[in-house]
């Protein structure tokens, strides 16, 4: 349910920066929901994930669709070591699961071309996010397996901005991703208290 508004937000900002199709790295791509959305919009996408099983599922789902889309079972650090660079990188719902978020942002920054765009979505660390994203989603509604998230690892927009600056990036834009049951899913909003998405740009 979150993928359509997030993908639309990302694609709109890519189109503002680049006149045509670009090469996109989707870090932590999972089963490829975002990767496929970006590829259907005409971009060349590489989906990257450290989980072999989810990469296999993504490859199976994309097979025969004729998209400019490939997947790789590897880490972002491996691509840095290979000297890879991308004009656009996405890493949605990943940073709250890594041990060192600052190092993670620095790794993504090392993969960006000059002037490139980095998109990150995550969960804010506050009272509302604890009630909604942790207790509500995992324990009350059972939308996620219990233990999926560690609230202490949620990242505030201010902290994300600090990680970006330390990595030589400029945080340009943020928006909330709000649950809208009457609309049948999620929508982009100004409320960043639970889920939010951000765009940073390399110098």
Q: What is the mean predicted confidence (pLDDT) over 164-175?
A: 98
Cα 157 to Cα 148: distance, rounded to the nearest angstrom: 21
Averaged over 134-147, what is the pLDDT? 54
Q: Does residue 138 have a pLDDT over 90?
A: no
Is residue 153 very low, low, confident or very high in pLDDT (cuts 50, 70, 90)? Answer: confident
Give the integer Cα–Cα distance in Å for 121 and 71. Answer: 21
pLDDT confidence of residue 152: 73
Residue 70 has pLDDT above 80, yes or no: yes
Q: What whole-number percentage of the chain has pLDDT above 90?
A: 78
Residue 31 reports pLDDT greater than 70: yes
Q: How confident is the model at residue 147 (pLDDT cuts 50, 70, 90)?
A: low
Range of the domain at 181: 3-202
Yes or no: say if 62 and 71 are a contact pair by the CB < 8 Å rule: yes
pLDDT for residue 1: 84
Q: What is the C-alpha to C-alpha distance for residues 111 and 121, in angstroms, rounded to an integer? A: 18
Kindly report, residue by residue over 8-26, the tens digit of the pLDDT.
Answer: 999 999 999 999 999 999 9
pLDDT at 185: 83
Q: How many domains does the chain have?
A: 1
For 74-118, how does the pLDDT look when each residue is reduced to its tens digit (9 = 90+)? Answer: 999 999 999 999 999 999 999 999 999 999 999 999 999 999 999
CATH at 82: 3.40.50.150
Work out the mean pLDDT of the chain and round it to a whole number: 91
Query: What is the mean predicted confidence (pLDDT) over 46-66?
Result: 96
The position carrying tokens 């900002």 is 13
């Amino acid at each position: 349910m979150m993928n359509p508004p997030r993908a639309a937000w990302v694609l709109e900002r890519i189109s503002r920066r680049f006149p045509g199709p670009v090469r996109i790295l989707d870090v932590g791509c999972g089963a490829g929901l975002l990767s496929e959305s970006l590829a259907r919009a005409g971009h060349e996408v590489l989906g990257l994930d450290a989980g072999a099983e989810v990469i296999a599922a993504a490859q199976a789902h994309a097979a025969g669709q004729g998209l400019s889309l490939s997947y790789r079972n590897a880490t972002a650090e491996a691509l840095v070591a290979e000297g890879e660079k991308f004009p656009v990188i996405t890493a949605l719902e990943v940073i709250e699961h890594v041990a060192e978020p600052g190092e993670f942002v620095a790794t993504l920054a090392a993969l960006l071309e000059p002037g490139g765009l980095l998109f990150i979505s995550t969960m804010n660390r506050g009272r509302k996010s604890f009630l909604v994203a942790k207790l509500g989603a995992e324990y009350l509604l059972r939308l996620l397996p219990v233990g999926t998230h560690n609230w202490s690892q949620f990242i505030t927009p201010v902290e994300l901005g600090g990680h970006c600056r330390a990595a030589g990036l400029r945080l340009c834009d943020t928006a909330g991703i709000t649950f809208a049951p009457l609309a049948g899913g999620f929508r982009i909003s100004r409320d960043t208290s639970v889920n939010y998405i951000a765009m940073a740009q390399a110098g």
